[in-house]
Amino acid sequence: QVQLVESGGGLVQPGGSLRLSCAGPASIRVYVMAWYRQAPGKQRELVAAIGYGGTNYADSVKGRFTISRDNAKNTVYLQMNSLNVDDTAVYYCNAPPGNRALTYSGGGGLWPWGQGTQVTVSS
């Protein structure tokens, strides 16, 4: 059972930045990993993914968010810049399912969801 722990969320003003972290066991190193978010009343959506083939981003965050990973630390990061109120959500990490995980665009993940980290963008 893979347990993932997200951290780094908080309250930030529009235009601000945050860096999220996702820590897991060493086994996550071989997987495409992704960040997802779920806003109140909305379905969970994938926002960024990273694998050996590169990275992939949802159109809504392209140019503002950057996903990276440090396999030595078994950690995946999400640098979020130019935040706006529409980015307010609980953010989760997981591994996208399927053979084309890097281009997966749904809201599913391979493992049980962690507690997530709340990001609130407000003035």
DSSP-derived pairing of the beta strands 10-12 and 89-94? unpaired
Q: What is the DSSP letter of 58?
A: -
C-alpha to C-alpha distance for 64 and 61, rounded to whole angstroms: 5
Per-residue pLDDT tens digits of the chain, which is 123 residues long: 899 999 999 999 999 999 999 999 999 999 999 999 999 999 999 999 999 889 999 999 999 999 999 999 999 999 999 999 999 999 999 999 988 899 898 999 999 999 999 999 999
CA angle 14, 17, 22 (to 5 degrees): 130
